[in-house]
Chains A and B, each alone.
Chain A
């Protein structure tokens, strides 16, 4: 049997533990306001960015959800922050500004660095504005882009294509290429979410049946990578309902009919799906970007195709 003294000490030890926890909680609550940035801190960051940022730069938020910065960052600078954006390549930016709040509770700088730093190199010391940190990085994962489908959308020829090759045109109305049929059947660059990530991509809802919705582009450069990135948007990717069909996304060479890229997205597959092929050197090509699903229900595809160089890597 434990000694009576020990039994008497237990409630005291329990109370001591509870008071210690309470004390820590009190410290947490009292310290919290000092761990948050002020508007003046945000404005100071905005001033630096307005002064020093170059066209093509991007801003990455750490932690990813600290989006209040959008209120202050100059509107011409893209701000990135979504669940898992720490490890995103952000390959469209040669340089990245990391706007951090390392003093926020549970901010894990080590985990962020582990995801973000590979392939990146700091281009200067970290600046502190109050609780905000700002540091510029060379983005070694940058891939120079020579052609992007979503930026060339207005020049595309869009049509519905039957398996026998017959076509129904989807004329361009100045904003979108609208196809005959339901109102969602059009092609245009739009903002959409693919597994929480904002994507500016080509809206290409699968038309249903064997026919394909095709956007045909001229002047796609050869001798570099041709990359497709796309997925089912919003909540439509999640269901694994057996009634739903696999959506097929692809890129064909218009002249030869050769399949260059092919991405199947079965029901339930979430996130941005990627495929890439290196095109041999040669003259610029015409490519057909297409989407097809037997059952069009919930096959709300948004995709982009780009011709791009390999990642530049960081300079020593």
Chain B
């Protein structure tokens, strides 16, 4: 397993893909409503941006804990890389250049999401050829739920991009030491994006060690130094474990984690020891060094960058990080409708992630993901037996890296105790890798067909095969995307029977409240002046954002109950049926006045108080 630098052409294509994706997202974002979380992040981003203003105006004051807490305490359940970018982008593009509020916040999200097709192309091309890379790149944003999430100033798509970037850097590091440092930096930024990144070292380290082990075969000096490197990490892990036990558990461990404490000393020892050992190793074996640099870089730069990027941690890093980790380790469960059952808590079905993916990714894209992954797994299995080994080409370590990353996020969320709300977004980091495997499946088919056709027409160019194949595979997904956009959380695949089939199957109709945009024009046209409007599930921030982005009349007022309202826009959720019936009670009618119905499925139902 070694990385491969992209060619000049590949870099150019990657930039073009990035630019096209960025432009597509920007040009279509205005239709996308503000999800519950997104409006919270808008508010947080504005608060964080205000700190940067203070930093310029009164730097000494800005660094005090009280000033930091005032600006950064809000929404401290998530790290702040993306929210800071949203805030700075808003300052530049809205306050400075006068762009619409929402687009100014969202621009960094477009930039991050657009990285995915570009990186898919680079990685996929190096691994399986440009046909595969291009299919992976083009197909990614044709998945309606992925395109929808790519529009949002949230973290799910950015962390998928960061995950892919870290893996790409890791892979490139195997042929270029500088990429190992880049891997550490990317990992730090991934940690600063969302907590999914915490799993990355567990995925990548075994590959690094395996690569170092094979590269040191027949080189006893390198093997010894590899052993020392592993021993250093093991020793530090043991020391932390002993410290935890000696101090009497997690709480005391946390309490005594100070700047000058054994905790810090161990970390510094790990950092210094890693550098020293790698410098010692480099003259002996460059391949082994290259394999280990990303591990050391992630271990050292990851926590450092995580700390540095988040002012909220600067004065109380341990307690505030511990709170952040505990928040996600004990995240509450939201009701979620799945195959006719309202799931309210664990244990969740083991097959949920696979089924939900199958029912939401356009089937013409999901099928090659399945065959791509099964072919890889099949080759791996057949390679295990001496009898069948000759039948197949054994998967390379890079292929294994892609395969493992394709399933890691899905496996993590599949755990029956892990919260299962949020559609498919929590395992987005798996999707680019599944896309690459899909690309591999399509590419080998195209090549085989081209080979056959060439026997009859030797001059036949390969694109004469790939273009129609791509068109047929991608067109249904494009149609589905255009059909359901901008109502991304309602999207279901052909396998589900689309939105209507999914409703009959008893799947979650939608979530996150952004589909209310489908009825805002009616409300703007029909609400009486100063009308009291209850937008069910739409939080106060989103209500304000619809008004300040010109999507909702400024004179209408938000109320929190149908009983106080002139107009109610009820969001259809199985767990919220009571809210609609309360509207019947409050308005004395069961007849709505309008609604957003996607392929007949009720999404948002509007009632108006009879005069």
Contacts and interface: CB of A to CB of B under 8 A. Distances in A.
Listed residue (A7, A14, A36) with the most chain B CB atoms within 10 angstroms of its CB: A14
B182 to A, nearest CB: 35
Contacts of B575: 235
Given A28-B494, A29-B476, A79-B590, A12 B600 contact: no
Contacts of A198: 577, 581, 584
Contact of B473 (A19, A104, A234): A19
A233 interface: yes
Contact of B504 (A15, A21, A104): A104
Given A29-B476, A75-B591, A105-B498, A11 B578 contact: no
B585 A234 contact: no
B574 A66 contact: no
Interface stretch (A140-148, A187-195, A277-285): A187-195
B469 A24 contact: no
Q: What range describes how many residues of A lie at the interface?
A: 35 or more
B476 A25 contact: yes
Given A11-B447, A12-B452, A25 B589 contact: no
A117 interface: no
A14 B440 CA distance: 11
Contacts of A104: 497, 500-501, 504, 599-600
Listed residue (B501, B575, B591, B600) with the most chain A CB atoms within 10 angstroms of its CB: B600
Nearest to B444: A11
Interface in B425-470: 441-442, 444-449, 452, 469
B203 interface: no
B205 interface: no
B581 A192 contact: yes
B605 interface: yes
B601 interface: yes
Interface in A14-49: 14-19, 21-26, 28-30, 32, 35-37
Contacts of B231: none
Contacts of A193: 577-578, 581
B498 A32 contact: yes
B344 A238 contact: yes
Contacts of A1: 390-391
A94 interface: no
Listed residue (A17, A18, A234) with the most chain B CB atoms within 10 angstroms of its CB: A18
Nearest to A197: B577
Given A24-B494, A191-B581, A18 B371 contact: yes
Q: What range describes how many residues of B lie at the interface?
A: 35 or more
Given A14-B441, A104-B504, A67 B602 contact: yes
B448 A15 contact: yes
Nearest to A76: B591
Given A66-B600, A68-B597, A192-B581, A22 B364 contact: yes
A118 B363 CA distance: 38
Contact of A11 (B448, B496, B506): B448
Contacts of B363: 21, 24-25
A21 B501 CA distance: 18
B441 A36 contact: no
B578 A105 contact: no
Contacts of A65: 503-504, 601-602
Nearest to A189: B585
B475 interface: yes
Contacts of A55: none
A83 interface: yes
B340 interface: yes
A139 interface: no
Interface string A266-280: 000000000000000
Interface string B580-611: 01101100011111110101111001000000
B506 to A, nearest CB: 7
Contacts, number: 156
Nearest to B445: A15
B483 A63 contact: no
Listed residue (A2, A16, A29, A190) with the most chain B CB atoms within 10 angstroms of its CB: A29
Given A11-B445, A83-B506, A18 B592 contact: no
Contacts of A21: 363-364, 367
Contact of B476 (A17, A26, A83): A26
A29 B494 contact: yes
Contacts of B479: 26, 29-30
Contact of A71 (B480, B496, B595): B595
A17 B363 CA distance: 12
Contact of A22 (B340, B473, B592): B473
Contact of B391 (A7, A24, A66): A7
B180 interface: no
Contacts of A71: 591-595
B368 interface: yes
A193 B342 CA distance: 15
A22 B605 CA distance: 34
Interface in B222-261: none
Contacts of A68: 595, 597, 600, 602
A36 B600 contact: yes
B599 A32 contact: yes
Contacts of A22: 364, 367, 472-473, 475-476
Contacts of B304: none
A23 B442 contact: no
Given A32-B498, A36-B599, A191-B582, A12 B472 contact: no
Given A11-B444, A11-B447, A18 B368 contact: yes
Given A15-B448, A104-B500, A106-B500, A75 B362 contact: no
A108 interface: yes
Contacts of A28: 476, 494, 498
A234 B578 CA distance: 6
A235 B579 CA distance: 11
Shortest Cβ-Cβ A-B pairs, 3 listed: A15-B445, A105-B497, A25-B476
Interface of A: 1-2, 7-8, 11-12, 14-19, 21-26, 28-30, 32, 35-37, 63, 65-68, 70-71, 73, 75, 78-79, 82-83, 101, 104-108, 190-193, 196, 198, 233-235, 238
